[in-house]
Amino acid sequence: MRIERVTNTVSLKRTIDSGTEEQRKAVLEILAQVQKEGDNALRSYTEKFDGVFLNEFKVTDSDFKDAYAKLDENMVQIIKEAAENIRDYHSRQTRQSWMTMKDNGTILGQKITPLDAVGVYVPGGKAAYPSSVLMNVIPAQVAGVERIVMVSPPGKDGTIPAGVLVAADILGVKEIYKVGGAQAVGALAFGTETIQPVDKIVGPGNIFVALAKREVYGNVDIDMIAGPSEIVVLADETALPNEVAADLLSQAEHDERASSILVTPSMELAESVAVEVERQLLLLPREAIARASINDFGAIYVTNDVEEAIRVVNELAPEHLEIMTKDPMEKVGKIKHAGAIFIGRYSSEPVGDYFAGPNHVLPTNGTARFSSPLSVDDFTKKSTIISYSKQAIKDNAPKIAAFARLEGLEAHARAVEERLK
């Protein structure tokens, strides 16, 4: 693993995939067809892209039963416990509507309302992640969203992976359609005979899904477009090289374009971590992917001191940050930009991917500078409440009218003055 003394500013090697011209055209064509042909378009794209003809898309009771038969009972329990932890954490994020009353009788407030309907895209095939079901569905449920729909591409045998279906069933999600790709996004955004449209689409997907989400944004809301995963470990000489290396590799195995970076003032740690990464890499089943990621996007930055290391972390604005230093909690206040902060040696990043409770959908590509983890907020919206009293309009109408006239809006001025008549 490359070791580099940091002298000036650093930044993550960004790799936003905006798709090829051909992919963008294909997505536009698919979305147009779904709007025009509805279910029939879904049928023909599913046959074309997923290699299976389905007349009905909806997951049935017997599909759920088959899924449970394929999954270890112990695993079902673990998913349930993870779901409880995630629900407990997210229920602490809920917000109340509020009002404030003034002496003159005016009431101002902010009303919080859950979205009506949300669609969750769950990738299929090799990258079937039950954890993704938990992380996208639970915040919507905690927010109070009444209708939560899942879509996921079927395998060639016409089924959705067992873990995904069991996770959905544990959460009580019953409306699931075996459809994926841009056609699923189109169905959720515009509706078909079978699938009623939703107000927001969340969940990860391949480039076609990402492009389709970007395209329907405005008609419906979408979550962020996620880039490859990133981890930055901030460590000093007290960190154990084997633990640091294992955590770096846990991101590297995701994707050749994932970034795993260590920032440390200790050259000794830097050198031992480089050795450990190489040793552990050889033992990994996904060695090829992890090695490509480490070679192309991995780095060990050595700084003069911890303060400088923190500056570098804030420049990187990573998705995941681990702090493995002396008194790690004391460093948290200095971290300005990070999606999730893992504190101390026992907070290995995968703890947050599955089980601890916080969401694993996090801002990538340096967007932690301005974006947040997926949360209950993302499934609610606010409405302002203004109730002006007779006294308030009497006192303030002349000022409001003057302001309106300063901006050249006479009808605005007259509307408030109309109340004085």
CA neighbours within 13 Å on the CB side: how many for 89? 20
Q: Around Cβ 127, how many Cβ atoms within 10 Å?
A: 14
Q: Does residue 219 have a known ligand-binding role?
A: no
- Report yes or no: 175 and 169 within 8 Å, Cβ to Cβ: no
Residues 9-48 that bind a copy of itself (CB under 8 A): 16
Beta-carbon contacts of 93 under 8 Å, excluding residues fewer than 6 positions away, are: 139, 142, 375, 376, 377
Q: How far apart are the first and last CA of the chain?
A: 78
Cβ partners under 8 Å of residue 290, min gap 6: 249, 252, 253, 281, 284
**Residue 391 DSSP class:** H
Q: Is the dihedral of CA 98, 104, 105, 108 positive or negative?
A: negative
- Select the span of 35-43, 72-80, 261-269, 302-310 touching a copy of itself (CB under 8 A): 72-80
Active-site pick, 215, 243, 315, 319? 319
Does 400 interact with a copy of itself (rule: CB under 8 A)? yes
320 annotated active-site: yes
Q: Is residue 217 a known part of a binding site?
A: no
Residue pair 176/152 in contact by the 8 Å Cβ criterion: yes
Residues in contact with a copy of itself, counted by CB under 8 A, come to a total of: 118
Q: Is 389 in the site for a copy of itself (CB under 8 A)?
A: yes
Q: Which of 28, 49, 292, 355 binds a copy of itself (CB under 8 A)?
A: 355
* Residue 183 assigned to a binding site: yes
User: C-beta of 216: minimal distance to a copy of itself in Å?
Assistant: 12
The whole-angstrom distance between residue 347's C-alpha and the CA centroid of its chain comes to: 20
| Residue 255 to residue 329: CA distance in whole angstroms | 30
Q: Which is nearer to a copy of itself, 57 or 89 (CB)?
A: 89
* Cα–Cα separations (whole angstroms), residue 406 to 22, 154, 316, 393: 51, 60, 45, 19
Active site residue 319: yes
- Among the listed residues 119, 123, 124, 130, the single contact to a copy of itself using CB under 8 A: 130
Residues 231 to 290 in contact with a copy of itself, rule: CB under 8 A? 242-243, 246-247, 249-250, 252-254, 280, 284-286, 290
- Among 27, 34, 82, 135, contact with a copy of itself (rule: CB under 8 A): 82
Tell me which residues in 166-225 interact with a copy of itself (CB under 8 A): 199-200, 218, 220-221, 225
Residues 329-348 that bind a copy of itself (CB under 8 A): 329, 332, 335-348
Q: Applying CB under 8 A, which part among 3-11, 47-55, 107-115, 305-313 lies near a copy of itself? A: 107-115
Nearer Cβ to a copy of itself (236/353) = 353
Residue 369 sits at the vertex; the CA angle it makes with 208 and 13, to the nearest 5 degrees, is: 60
CB 151 within 8 A of CB 194: no
Q: Which range of residues in 1-9, 176-184, 295-303, 363-371 is near a copy of itself by CB under 8 A?
A: 363-371
Q: Is 388 annotated as a binding residue?
A: no
CB 320 within 8 A of CB 352: yes
Phi first, then psi: what are they for 119, rounded to 5°?
-105, 130
Q: Which positions from 145 to 174 touch a copy of itself by CB under 8 A, shown as an x/- string?
A: ------------------x-----------
Catalytic residue, chosen from 320, 322, 349, 360, is 320
Task: State yes or no: residue 402 binds a copy of itself (CB under 8 A).
Answer: yes
User: What residues act catalytically?
Assistant: 319-320
Binding residues for substrate: 229, 251, 254, 320, 353, 407, 412
